[in-house]
């Protein structure tokens, strides 16, 4: 049980560290993400089944990895339509078409951990 509690604490800290790295300098985003992490862990606090806890820990670890590797920040450049993308050290980049090659009608995919960021 002690090792399970340690694993939960490690996952909790890993999520917060990933958020700190991903959203560095963005206090608004850090506040929202931090609240969601805390809420998610509190919602799962009553879990006692080791298999269920292990599943939630895996989700938490996956979410931390997703934050570090797949989430980027973009800020609008003045009044134009251009955005400056801020990539982190761990951001995963794959060969993809340039923005001009992407049809304007194509909607960007939206994904993430959503409500699955909780564990414990």
Average pLDDT over residues 106-116: 47
Average pLDDT taken over every residue of the chain: 78
Q: Which residues are CB-contacts of 101 (< 8 A; sequence separation ≥ 6)?
A: none
Question: For residue 55, is pLDDT > 90?
Answer: yes
Q: Where are the domains of the chain?
A: 2-99
Q: Which residues are CB-contacts of 33 (< 8 A; sequence separation ≥ 6)?
A: 19, 23, 67
Task: Flag whether the pTM goes above 0.75.
Answer: no
The rounded distance, in Å, linking the Cα atoms of 83 and 70 is 17
- Please report which residue ranges of the chain form alpha helices under DSSP H: 2-22, 27-43, 50-70
């Amino acid at each position: 049980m002690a090792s399970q509690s340690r694993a939960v604490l490690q996952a909790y800290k890993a999520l917060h560290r990933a958020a700190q790295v991903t959203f560095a300098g963005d206090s608004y985003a850090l506040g929202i993400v931090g609240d969601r992490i805390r809420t998610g862990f509190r919602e799962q606090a009553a879990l006692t089944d080791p298999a269920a806890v292990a599943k939630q820990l895996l989700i938490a670890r996956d979410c931390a990895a997703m934050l570090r590797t797949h989430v980027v920040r973009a800020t609008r450049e003045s009044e134009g339509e251009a955005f400056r993308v801020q990539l982190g050290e761990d951001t995963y980049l794959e060969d993809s078409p340039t923005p001009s090659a992407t049809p304007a009608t194509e909607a960007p995919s939206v994904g993430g951990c959503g409500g699955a960021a909780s564990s414990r």
